[in-house]
Every structure is written in C-alpha cells, then in structure tokens.
A and B are shown apart, each in its own frame.
Chain A
Amino acid sequence: MNSYSSSDVAMKRSADRGPTLHGPAHAPNGTWCLAWSGNGGQQHSLLIDRRGLAANLLLALGLMASSLAYLSLGSLTVAPWELIDVLAGGGDPVASFMVQELRLPRLAIACLTGAAFALSGCLMQTLARNRLATPGIIGIDNGATAFAVASVVGIGVVIAPPAMALAGAATATALTFGLVGGGGARGYRFIVAGIGVGAVFGAITQLLLARVSIDVANSAYPWTVGTLNARPSNAVAALALGLPLGLLAALGLSRALAVMRFSESVAKGLGQPVNRRRHQALILAVILTALAVAVAGPVGMVGLIGPEIARYLSSSRSVPIVASALAGALVMVLSDLVGRTLFTPIEVPVGIVTSVVGAPYLLWILLRTSRSLA
C-alpha cells in the first residue's frame, strides 16, 4: 500500500523543490503532483487525482444546470435569460417573487439536505464496508423522524426538532449496533437488524400521529414521507451551519476511511487507530443524518444513490467525499424538480420520488451481485 492512494487530495512530504506541476513521470498514474516548499524549509506536495477532480467538476456542472432548471421551471416558467435579470433584483415582480421568495430558498434547502444525506450515506457505507448500509436503510432516518415528530406533536417535551432528531438518530444507531452484538457492522445481518429497528421507530411515529387530533396529524404528515415544503427555519439554519463543518470533518477523515476499506489488520498496520476513526465517522454520519431529517423528513434512498453515482464517476483509489455531497445535492434537486412539475397541480413529496427511483436500483444491486458478497 502506498500513501498516494489514500485520498484524492493528499498531503505528503516530498523531495521536490519549488511549486512545480509534475507530469506522470513523478506522480502516480492518473494524478498530478503539486509540490512547494513551505516556511522553515519544509517540503510539501499535493497529489491531485485527475479523475476525482473531473468527477467533481462534472457533478458541479450538473448541479448548476439542474439548479437553473429548478429556478426556471414550475407553475410559472421563467426563461433562463430572464433569470439573471430576476436574480439581480429587476424583472417582472411576479416572477421575481416566485424565484426569490419561493424557489431560491427551496433550492438551497434541497442542495443542503441532499448533500447531508449523501455524505452521511457515504460515511456509513465506507465504515460498514457495505453499499447497503445507508442511514435510511438501517433505520437511523426513522429514529430521527420518530423523535422529531414527538417534539412536533408535543408529548410534553419542548426541544427543537433538530435536537430531538439528533437524539432519535443516536438512539436508533445505538440500538442497531447494540442489538447486532459483537459482529459489528459486518454483513447483511446488521442491515436486517437495522430494518427491524427502523420498523419499530416507524410504528412509533404512527402511534404518535394516532394519538393527536387530525389537524396536528396533518401538520406532522410531511415528516412521514419527506418533503421540502415549508421547512422550519431554525432547522435549516442548523443544517446550513452543520453541513460545511461536517464536510470539513469528513475530508479530515477521508484518508483514514480510504485505508479502512481494506481489512482491519491492514488499516491497523498502516497506523490508523481503526476503532477511534470508525466511531468518529459514525458520529459524523449520525449528526448529518439528524440535521437533514430535521429539515426534510426521512427522504429515502438519497444516501444510497448519491454515493453510488460519486463512486461510479470517481476513481476507486479514494473515498469520494466531495463528489458524494455534490451528487446527493444533484439527486435531491432533480427529484424535487420532478415532484413539483410532473403532476401539476399536485405536488409529489420529494421522498416519494426518490423512493420510486431508488428502490428498483436497490433491488438491482441486491439481485445483481454474486453470492460471494453475502
């Protein structure tokens, strides 16, 4: 194992002098090596994975294009060239209201929640070494939802939904890991235990909704399917603050995660405190899921599809942290766009769109892979 292969942006000491861009002769295949000397005569170099960079750029371009479409399409179509005018503050007042007050905040929320779901999905998949171990599938979403609904319908606990969602996500995670026992996050057994835990929390959510009057139940309905409609502003603020921090923390962990994809003994041999890193990644994933659920409810499958797209586009030598976040945001924006426009005047909650798209994909993964994976 060499240390180059650990991350798409990896720092390493190098004997090269001066800020130079090396070709394939010095850097490993498919990377650029950016080297410079810092203060105190220290030599640094930066290894840039070309394919990872291309994937990130491609996803960013896709996200920009779909954002433009998101802003311009809907019950009132605003042509793309008018958009610039409207965004600058001018233009038709109706279009201006539509874009600035309704679509722009919602677009931002879609990007934030999608990125958070996909990032936490990527972390969970990597630390469990299983593509199916996403927070949505192993019941963390449902736990966060149950607790958040409890705070909305008021069972005497007056804490903000994000905090309650966090408590719920942590409880569900602890239950899943605790119940499966010593085996840890290995194999499908863990996932089925997670499905069981998720079913319990789903039932608790239903139970909470059955206790209250129909009006309150209707107001809490979005929690059960996942939608971007009219979200609480304090939860959005928490997510907007938490996502960049989470992204940075994930980037910090990315090198350890890349090594941990190999067997445990290899990771230990390469000097990673495996258990501590695993706990850190797990806590990060739980926090990100909880923040996203507090905003959008349990939007299924984004945590599965986002990292899958990112992994398909990126090279296999690294854990695609940034690409996952971008792909998640892309999936979320496109799904909500479809949900808003396909069946007008009915608005389909984004959670239903992602389920309809994601579930066949999940089936395909399950039925395609060979026996040896189990």
Chain B
Amino acid sequence: MPEPATDMVLLKAAGTPPRLLAKALFLAGLLLLACLASLLFGAGDVGPVRALTWLLGGGDDEAHFVISTLRAPRALIGLTVGMALGVSGALLQAVARNPLAEPGLLGVSAGSAFAVALILVMGASAATLRVGVAQIGALVGCLCVLGVARLRGVDGDPIRLVLAGAAFTGLLGALTSLLLLYDQRAADEIRFWVVGSLSGRRLDDLVAIAPGLLVAGVITLLIARPLASLALGERVATGLGHQPKLIRLLVIFSVALLVGSATAVAGPIAFVGLVVPYAARALAGPDIRRTLWLCLLLGPLMVITADIISRLLVAPSEMPLGVLTALCGAPVLVAVVRARRLPSL
C-alpha cells in the first residue's frame, strides 16, 4: 500500500491532536531526574549520598564545592547545549526537507570548530572572541553545504547531501588537525574542546552565548508557522502569504547561531541533532511546531544523560561526550537509512 502523501499525514495530525501534553510532562519529569542525577553522580569522591545530604541542607564543604562550582554549571551548560543542538537539528531537517540533515553530519559543527582553530592559530586567545567566530564558522559551513548542494541540484537527494556533508566534515577535520599540528600553543588550548566535552566549562561561557541563543529563539518562534506551511510545499507556503526564500535564510541563520553557540561551549558534538528530532517526530508527528517543543526537552535529556554516562563509564577519568552521542546516534542513522523508503519531510 502506498504511503499517504506528507500533507495528508499533516492534515490527519492536525485533526487528531496526540496527547502531546502528557508526553511533554513525562519528558519534563525525566529531564528533571536527569538534572538531579547529574548533580548526584560524578567521577570524584562525592557520592550520591553525600551530595543528597548537601542538597537537603546538611553536608560538608567538599560536597558544597563540588556541586556548586563543578556539577551545577555543568548541568546548566548541558541543558543549554542540548536545547540548542536539538532545536537546530529539527530546524535544519525541516528546511532541507531531509531526515538526515544534521548539523554535525553536514559539516556545520566542523566549520565552527575550524573557524575557532584558525582564529586561535592566527594569534587570538580571548575566550569571548570564540563565540562569534564559532557562529560565523557555522554559518559559512551551513551555507557551503546547503548552498552548493542546491546549486548543483542534489539537495533533493537526502543521502547524497549527507555524503557531501561527510566529505566536507572530513576535509575540515583534517585542516583543523593540520592547524593544531602547526601551532602547539593553540593545540594545548583547545585539545579537549575539539573532541566535544562538557567538562571544565564555566558559567561565563554560558553568559557569552546567551545573546545568540536569545536571538535564535525569537527567530525560531517567529518562523515556526511559516516553516510548518513550507512542509506542505513551496507553492502552498507562497499561497499562504509566506516567502520561502526568506524563511530558509532565517532558518539557516538561526541554525548557525544555535550550533555556533553550542560548539563554542562544548566543542563539536555530532548526532544529537539527528537523534532528538527523530525521537520527537516519533512522539509528536511531523508537525514542526510540535516537534520543536519536544526537542527542547529531548535535547537536554540526551546530552545530560550522555554526560553522566561519560563521567561514570571510565571513572576516575572522563571520556569525550561526542563518543557517547556517536555510539547512540549512528544506529539511528542506520535505522533511518534502512527504511525502505526514506521518509520525506
């Protein structure tokens, strides 16, 4: 039996709203639990019992120090980075109409990382500079892959777009290694950042990325409706009074802001933008207005859970967060590709 066309699915979804609120509440509960666990568990001496005692008002100085200066900022940053990456994945997939379009896979994160490495090698060192540079790099990376693919007419082919993104990511990764090899000081400065990790970040980083995230959030709220109409086709969107080109540009701009901010803080983390919208679509249907809200909850859930596991798995040392997201993201990639017919967006 042929699958119903996308717009039919959309209409059906609009007619019978799923029990979205219950699901969202459940996810919010899970997220709260994850945040709590992120405060309780860690690689060091302060175990769950001591941490819980401190949280309930008692406890000792060491627990106070570990939780308030190490674990709490880390949980907050995980929350922010997760939201940014999840939403950016959903946006990028909606605008590319491609379930495989993921910032990490398409080279957006790699562009951002390359820009930061380049500016460090050229002599800059300030941490505040990093955010803007990472965002510009993300924008250039995004425009490169999507723009060239559109120019050459391969943007309708999801799998080839991903291949082009993978090649682009490989190129930028090699160039980044080359730069770091060339400049030992820069390499030392960003050695742990470049593999993607939440450890050792400070709250200052969060303040630095806040304006970009706010702008991206406002843009996303404004374009959610036009984007949903774009899913029905370019002509429908035009007929409803929206401008597809403007929507696309705005989406790419806000994706660059989101991914650039997340990368500036946590380094390039792949696959979050693939898994989270995939799960959100499974829960809420194809309407972008619903999936975006779920992405806001699912993204942090995934990042914080992965962060906790990365702390516990190889304790007392830590491993990069990107490793874990790749371990759970790659099977999803294979699952999407395996589907006999690629779901179109």
Chain A residues with CB under 8 Å of chain B are 132, 137, 179-181, 188-189, 191-193, 195-197, 199-200, 202-204, 206-207, 210-211, 225, 300, 343, 346, 348-349, 351-352, 355-356, 359-360, 362-363, 366-368, 371, 374
**Chain B residue with Cβ nearest A195:** B166
**B177: chain A residues within 8 A (beta carbon):** 225, 352
Q: Which of A192, A346, A356, A359 contacts B333 (CB 8 A)?
A: A192
- How far is B152's CA from A202's CA once the two chains are assembled, in angstroms? 31
- How far is B318's CA from A371's CA once the two chains are assembled, in angstroms? 45
- How far is B157's CA from A359's CA once the two chains are assembled, in angstroms? 20
At the interface, yes or no: B210 with Cβ under 8 Å from chain A?
no
**A203: chain B residues within 8 A (beta carbon):** 322-324, 326-327, 330
**Chain A residue with Cβ nearest B154:** A367
Besides A189-B159, A206-B322, A210-B323, 7 other A-B contacts (C-beta < 8 A): A132-B163, A203-B324, A206-B195, A210-B320, A343-B181, A374-B154, A374-B160
Complex contact B337–A189 (CB within 8 A):
yes
At the interface, yes or no: B222 with Cβ under 8 Å from chain A?
no
Interface string of B255-275 (1 = CB under 8 A from A): 000000000000000110000
Binding-face segment, B22-30, B111-119, B121-129, B168-176: B168-176
At the interface, yes or no: B47 with Cβ under 8 Å from chain A?
no
Complex contact A366–B154 (CB within 8 A):
yes
At the interface, yes or no: B198 with Cβ under 8 Å from chain A?
no
**B100: chain A residues within 8 A (beta carbon):** 192
Complex contact B166–A181 (CB within 8 A):
no
Complex contact B171–A200 (CB within 8 A):
no
Shortest beta-carbon distance from A298 to chain B in Å: 11
* With contact pairs A180-B338, A196-B333, A210-B314 given, residues A374 and B159 touching in the complex (Cβ less than 8 Å): yes
- How far is B313's CA from A368's CA once the two chains are assembled, in angstroms? 45
Complex contact A363–B334 (CB within 8 A):
no
Complex contact B167–A366 (CB within 8 A):
yes
Complex contact A367–B338 (CB within 8 A):
no
**B48: chain A residues within 8 A (beta carbon):** none
How many contacts between A and B, using CB within 8 angstroms?
129
Chain B residues with CB under 8 Å of chain A are 100, 148-149, 152-154, 156-157, 159-160, 162-164, 166-168, 170-171, 173-175, 177-178, 181-182, 195, 270-271, 313-314, 317-320, 322-324, 326-327, 329-331, 333-334, 337-338
Shortest beta-carbon distance from B55 to chain A in Å: 29
Complex contact B334–A197 (CB within 8 A):
yes
- How far is B335's CA from A179's CA once the two chains are assembled, in angstroms? 9
Do most interface residues of chain A lie in helix, strand or loop, or is the interface mixed? Answer: helix
Q: Which of B148, B157, B329 contacts A374 (CB 8 A)?
A: B157
* With contact pairs A189-B159, A355-B171, A355-B173 given, residues A366 and B338 touching in the complex (Cβ less than 8 Å): no
Q: Which of A206, A349, A362 contacts B320 (CB 8 A)?
A: A206
**A188: chain B residues within 8 A (beta carbon):** 157, 159-160, 163
* With contact pairs A197-B330, A356-B174 given, residues A210 and B168 touching in the complex (Cβ less than 8 Å): no
Shortest beta-carbon distance from A107 to chain B in Å: 23
Complex contact A363–B167 (CB within 8 A):
yes
Shortest beta-carbon distance from B275 to chain A in Å: 12
Complex contact A199–B326 (CB within 8 A):
yes
Shortest beta-carbon distance from B167 to chain A in Å: 4
Shortest beta-carbon distance from B269 to chain A in Å: 12
18 contacts between A and B (CB under 8 A): A180-B337, A188-B163, A189-B159, A192-B163, A203-B324, A206-B195, A210-B323, A300-B170, A343-B182, A351-B174, A359-B168, A359-B170, A359-B171, A366-B160, A366-B167, A367-B148, A367-B154, A374-B157
**Chain A residue with Cβ nearest B324:** A203
- How far is B333's CA from A356's CA once the two chains are assembled, in angstroms? 26
Shortest beta-carbon distance from B4 to chain A in Å: 23
- How far is B333's CA from A199's CA once the two chains are assembled, in angstroms? 10
| Leading 9 A-B pairs by shortest Cβ distance | A359-B171, A210-B319, A355-B174, A203-B326, A196-B333, A196-B330, A188-B159, A362-B167, A196-B334
Shortest beta-carbon distance from B107 to chain A in Å: 10
- How far is B333's CA from A137's CA once the two chains are assembled, in angstroms? 15
- How far is B271's CA from A180's CA once the two chains are assembled, in angstroms? 19
**A207: chain B residues within 8 A (beta carbon):** 313-314, 319, 323, 327
**B166: chain A residues within 8 A (beta carbon):** 137, 195
**Chain A residue with Cβ nearest B271:** A199
**Chain B residue with Cβ nearest A214:** B317
* With contact pairs A188-B160, A355-B174, A363-B171 given, residues A179 and B334 touching in the complex (Cβ less than 8 Å): yes
The winner among A180, A189, A199 for most chain B CB atoms within 10 A is A199
Complex contact B337–A366 (CB within 8 A):
no
Shortest beta-carbon distance from B143 to chain A in Å: 15
The winner among B162, B322, B334 for most chain A CB atoms within 10 A is B334
Complex contact B270–A199 (CB within 8 A):
yes
Complex contact A367–B152 (CB within 8 A):
yes
**B162: chain A residues within 8 A (beta carbon):** 192, 195
**B167: chain A residues within 8 A (beta carbon):** 359, 362-363, 366
Complex contact A360–B323 (CB within 8 A):
no
- How far is B120's CA from A24's CA once the two chains are assembled, in angstroms? 64
* With contact pairs A195-B166, A200-B330, A210-B323 given, residues A348 and B160 touching in the complex (Cβ less than 8 Å): no
- How far is B318's CA from A27's CA once the two chains are assembled, in angstroms? 67
Shortest beta-carbon distance from B60 to chain A in Å: 30
Shortest beta-carbon distance from B299 to chain A in Å: 19
- How far is B162's CA from A173's CA once the two chains are assembled, in angstroms? 20
